[in-house]
Amino acid sequence: MSLKRIFVGLARSQEGTSDRAKDPKLKTHYYNLSKDKIWEEVTSTLKKIPGYKVLHEVKSVGEITLEKRTAFGRTMDITVSIISVTPVRSSVDIYSASRGSLGDLGSNYRTIVQLYAALDKKLASYRIVE
């Protein structure tokens, strides 16, 4: 992680992924799986990652809400969104925000990168790299 990311984290306490993200690690991830199949894979993977607690799952909307406590006692709220792009292609976006008024020193960024790494490890054969 760069020094720039830490300085940005001094003032900002949220981070999200999108198609238009400048940082390649924060770009939306696409997979060659239907929404139903990727839903099962993502939910099972997220439940196995230590330190994360699944709060809500709404399959019809495609959202999973997680909670993570940091080493300093702050709580992070994380939303994983699964969107069907075509019948056999889906996208996964992640939004992470820390509770509290101060910045997060880049912990939301690291959380998103960690979650994407876990998902990519499980779904490597289905990942579409653009």
* Strand runs labelled E in 17-112: 29-31, 52-58, 63-69, 75-86, 89-98
82: left (phi over 0), alpha (psi -120 to 50) or beta: beta
pLDDT at 70: 84
Contact predicate 79/92, CB 8 Å? no
Between the two ends of the chain, the Cα-to-Cα distance in Å is 22
DSSP 8-class letter at 18: B
Question: pLDDT means per 10 residues in the chain (130 residues)?
Answer: 64 88 94 97 96 95 95 90 96 94 82 96 92
pLDDT at 74: 87
Q: Domains in the chain and their CATH numbers?
A: 3-128 (3.30.310.220)
CA dist 28 and 119 (Å) reads: 12
Q: What is the pTM (predicted TM-score) of this model?
A: 0.91
